[in-house]
Structure formats: structure tokens, C-alpha cells
Chain A
């Protein structure tokens, strides 16, 4: 029962994350997703959480945007204001 509840929460968060990427863009969405998930799994040290999130975001920026020359989704809202 406990497991089912946790699974339901995790799956809902995964779906919400997908729509968040579309709306507010990858970087903001992933920061929110990672902080939320890591906290949910029981890590409480703030510096550990923030450090891993920042490292992940910097690495994915360097690898995908600089290395592979892709544009990770900016989100509908920001595309609207940027153009």
C-alpha cells in the first residue's frame, strides 16, 4: 500500500515534469524536478542537493548545447517573450 502510494506520486511527478519542460523550459523544470525528487527520497543536506543540481545543469548545458549544438527546450513562455 505504502509502495503504491509512492509509485503513484513518482509517476505523477514524471508526467508533470514533462509538461513543465514544455511550458517553463528544461532548465527551470529540471531544477525543480531534481530538488523535489532528491528531497522526496530523503536527502536533507541543502548543500548536497544544490551542488548536485548545479553540476548536473552545467554538465548538460556544456554537453548538449555546446558539444552537440542542440537547443534544449526553452519553454513556451520564454519563447514568447524572447521572440
Chain B
């Protein structure tokens, strides 16, 4: 392991890699700050650029973009009161209230510090826990692994949004799309309809860009484009702009609490940075010295929300790297990027790609430093412009980028067609209330789970019941049953509440 760590640090220390991390964070901040372009979309758009890089550079740049996007969202949340990214929605409350008092620079500064501290703690949790979990996970065989995948499919309940039924349908469709192509064990063509280009399956890149960039843009373009909100140009006195040591020290408690919540929530599959930001924000009232101020322009509110959403980034990488289970939408996209590079996250990654994993860890440290520098630099320079970026020009250009991006990976027009088909599908899914995230999770987990279960079937000589002799698999079967019962109970409660409301 020690040799891997050193090799990893050596890998990341190359100047190209440092440069790519820097640009990843910068792109993330810019895209995150523009209202309407989310951090998730940012990653989907950056993936094609990273395709031709080596895995270390590519993954570090993407994680940098993700982190930058999480912070960037707070810029427009504070300055115009509209979150640039979903996860910044909790930042709006106190952040925008502070901006109304002319303290936007102060709010942005505390947001930057809270983001970086949250990030750093999340990363520390990842680095200390992941190798340990992975070492335990290494002992598991294909049968156990298949059950882990089965369990993680129940996380679609967390990303389904309003309707669980629609989420499940979307997931089933994703699983179906995942089976397209040549069968991994016996080599038969499945669901290709005689189209040669489908032999390798539906391209991950086309699906990612199509589902997570195109529909959002069409939705925003179909209604007449107006400014997202009025930019507050009120500049406070120098005292309002400066963040004093005492003020930041006062926020440290909520930052630590928010980070803890973020790491925990992030590590649970299915719950992303948005939920953890709101939870951190809600809990901050409990530890704050001035709970009455929260909601009316308190630095602590901003700090808690930002620490919460950024810490979730490190937390959500834990299940992805150790078990191959994507914890949130953005992480599912990141996992897609790993797969495009030919690396399958999971317990084996520490053994097969040890230096790579430690290089990514080291890259996280570097991206943190860049995040702090760029975040503080952006406050006084480009922040106001980003909030009012000219969407009339930006949106068509982003659409064109989607075309180039999906073309660039395989240089086949066919992938662009898949991208557009997924984009139009995604648009109608959004219109009819079907969530896109379960589809992606089904599409990514399906083939991995299939391979595991079929390997297991070969070992067990086609006797599925032999699975009960594997203790880890048993634990995950029980967890799956428990999780399904839990989901069913909460759904039942929800429908009863709705019925009561109708009667009342």
C-alpha cells in the first residue's frame, strides 16, 4: 500500500495533471454559478473533454468540476437569490438575506471557507475509511457482489422524487437498455435489431449527455428567457465586505456539524448533497449561539448549508469506490466516467489500480487548494457577471457542445444519434414526471450485476439457492428485504396522509 501511495502522489504531481485539476475546478465554478446550469450537467459536459486524457487526469478533473460546481451554485444563490445548482437551494435563505444587507462579499467568503472545510473533512473521511472498507470488500465473491448490486437498486427510492412507481419504471427501462449489445458470457447479440453499431451496447456518454444536459436546456429555452433574478449591486461598507476572524470562528461549530452530516448523508446511497445541505441547515439552529438569526441573514446558516453539500461529495465517493454503488446522481455520472475509461469501481479497484486511487486522493487535496483560491478570486472579479450570463447565446452553444462531446468519444455519428434520442426521451420523461436518475442507475448497475450473477450461476452450477451459503450475500438479501419493507411503509404512510388531507 505504501508504494501505491507514493506512486499515486508521483502521478498527480505531473504538471499536466495539476493543470487539469485547476481547469476542472474553474469550469465547475463557472458552470455551477450560471443559473440553469447545474453541477450535474457540468460533469456531463466535461466528460467528453476528459476522454482522451489518462485516467488520473480525467477523474481528478471531473471531481474538481463537481466540487467547483457545488461551490459555484452558492454564488448565484447569494447574489440573485436563485440557486445556480440544486444543492445550493438551502444557501439561498440566509445568503440572499445577507446580500440584501449589502454583505454579499462576506457571505460568499464564508461560503468559500465552509465549502473548503467541508470538502476537506469529507475527503479525510474518504481517505481513511475507503481502503479499510475495500479490504473487507475484497473477500466477497460474485454471488455476494450480485446481492450488493440488488441492494443498491433499492436506492432508486431515494432518487425517484415524487412518484416511486415512475422511478421504478425508469429504472427498469435503464436495466433493459443495459442489456443491449453482445451478451457478456456466451456472446449472443441481444436487442440490437440488426444494427451493427449497437453491438457494443448503448454508449454511456450519449446517454449521460442526452439525459442530463439536453432536457434541462430545452425546458429552459421553451419558456421565454428572462433574467433569473435581479442582481443586487448594493455594495456595503468595507466592514460589511470583510470577514473577521471572530465571525469565522463563530461559524466553525456549524461548519463541523454540517460536514459531519454531509459525510454521513453522502455515504448513504440515494441521498445527495441537496438533502444533506438542508439537513445541515436545519440542525445548525440547534448548535448556533444565535438561532433566532438563522433565516434572516446569518453567516452560520450559509456556512452550515455549504459545508453540508460539499462534505457530501467526499462521503458519496466512499460507497462508489469501495462497493461500486453510486450514491447520488452526480456520482453515478462520475462512475460512468470511470467505466468509459475502462475502470470498474468496486473493491478490486484498490488492488488493480492502487496508484490510480491514491493519485485521485492526492488530486482531491490539490483540487481543494485550488477551490479555495479560485473561490476567493471569483468573488471580486467574475461572480456578478456569471449570475447574469447571456443565456440566449449560452444555451445554443451548450447544445452544440453536446453534439461535439458525444461525437468526440468514438468519432461516430451514431453516438450523436443516441445522445439526441436520449435527450428527447429525457425531455418527455421530465414533462411526464419520470425521473432520469433511476434510469441511469439501472443502466450502470444492470450490466455489472448481470455479470456477477451469471458468474455466480456458473460457480453454483445453476442452482440459485446456493446463495444462502454465502454470509455476505445473506446480509445483503436481508438488507434488501428490510429496505423494501421500509420503502413500502413510508409510501403507505404518504398515501394515508394524502387521503386524510383529502377528507379533511
**Interface-facing stretch out of B161-169, B302-310, B401-409:** B401-409
The winner among A10, A52, A71 for most chain B CB atoms within 10 A is A10
Q: Mark A1-20, 1 if CB is under 8 A from B, else 0.
A: 00110110011001101100
- Chain B residues with Cβ below 8 Å from A18 are 403, 413, 416-417, 420
B228–chain A nearest beta-carbon distance, Å: 15
A53–chain B nearest beta-carbon distance, Å: 9
B226–chain A nearest beta-carbon distance, Å: 10
- Chain B residues with Cβ below 8 Å from A70 are 408, 411
B49–chain A nearest beta-carbon distance, Å: 8
Assess the B404–A37 pair: CB atoms within 8 A.
no
Assess the B400–A33 pair: CB atoms within 8 A.
yes
B223, B404, B417: the one within 8 Å of A64 (CB): B404
- Chain A residues with Cβ below 8 Å from B3 are none
Assess the B395–A68 pair: CB atoms within 8 A.
no
Assess the B395–A56 pair: CB atoms within 8 A.
no
- Chain A residues with Cβ below 8 Å from B392 are 38, 41-43
CA distance in complex: A3, B420 (Å)? 20
A15–chain B nearest beta-carbon distance, Å: 7
Assess the A14–B404 pair: CB atoms within 8 A.
no
**B181 CB-CB contact with A under 8 Å:** no
CA distance in complex: A33, B404 (Å)? 13
Q: Mark B212-233, 1 if CB is under 8 A from A, else 0.
A: 0010001001111100000000
B179–chain A nearest beta-carbon distance, Å: 26
A4 and chain B: residue at smallest CB distance = B222
B402-438 residues at the A interface, CB under 8 angstroms: 403-404, 407-408, 411, 413, 416-417, 420, 423-424, 427
Assess the B416–A6 pair: CB atoms within 8 A.
no
Assess the A34–B416 pair: CB atoms within 8 A.
no
**B399 CB-CB contact with A under 8 Å:** yes
User: Chain B at the A interface: mostly helix, strand, loop or mixed?
Assistant: helix
- Chain B residues with Cβ below 8 Å from A63 are 49
Known contacts A21-B403, A37-B399; A7/B393 CB under 8 A: no
B225 and chain A: residue at smallest CB distance = A41
- Chain B residues with Cβ below 8 Å from A73 are 407, 413
A11, A21, A42: the one within 8 Å of B218 (CB): A11
Determine the interface band of chain B, counting residues with CB < 8 A from chain A.
Answer: 20 to 34
CA distance in complex: A17, B413 (Å)? 12
- Chain A residues with Cβ below 8 Å from B396 are 33-34, 37-38, 41
- Chain A residues with Cβ below 8 Å from B411 are 70-71
CA distance in complex: A38, B391 (Å)? 9
**B397 CB-CB contact with A under 8 Å:** yes
Assess the B413–A7 pair: CB atoms within 8 A.
no
- Chain A residues with Cβ below 8 Å from B427 are 7, 11
**A72 CB-CB contact with B under 8 Å:** yes
CA distance in complex: A33, B393 (Å)? 12
CA distance in complex: A72, B500 (Å)? 59
Assess the B222–A14 pair: CB atoms within 8 A.
no
**B19 CB-CB contact with A under 8 Å:** no
**B52 CB-CB contact with A under 8 Å:** yes
CA distance in complex: A34, B403 (Å)? 12
Can you identify 10 A-B contacts, CB atoms within 8 angstroms? A10-B218, A11-B427, A18-B403, A18-B413, A33-B399, A37-B395, A38-B392, A41-B391, A41-B392, A60-B404
Q: Considering the complex of A and B, which 3 residue pairs feature the smallest CB-CB distances, nearest first? A: A37-B396, A41-B392, A7-B222
**Can you add 14 more A-B contacts, CB < 8 Å, to A34-B396, A41-B391?**
A14-B423, A18-B416, A30-B400, A33-B399, A34-B400, A37-B399, A38-B392, A41-B221, A43-B390, A48-B393, A56-B397, A56-B400, A60-B400, A71-B411
Interface residues in chain A, defined as those with a beta carbon under 8 Å from any beta carbon in chain B:
3-4, 6-7, 10-11, 14-15, 17-18, 21-22, 26, 30, 33-34, 37-38, 41-43, 48-49, 52, 56, 60, 63-64, 68, 70-73
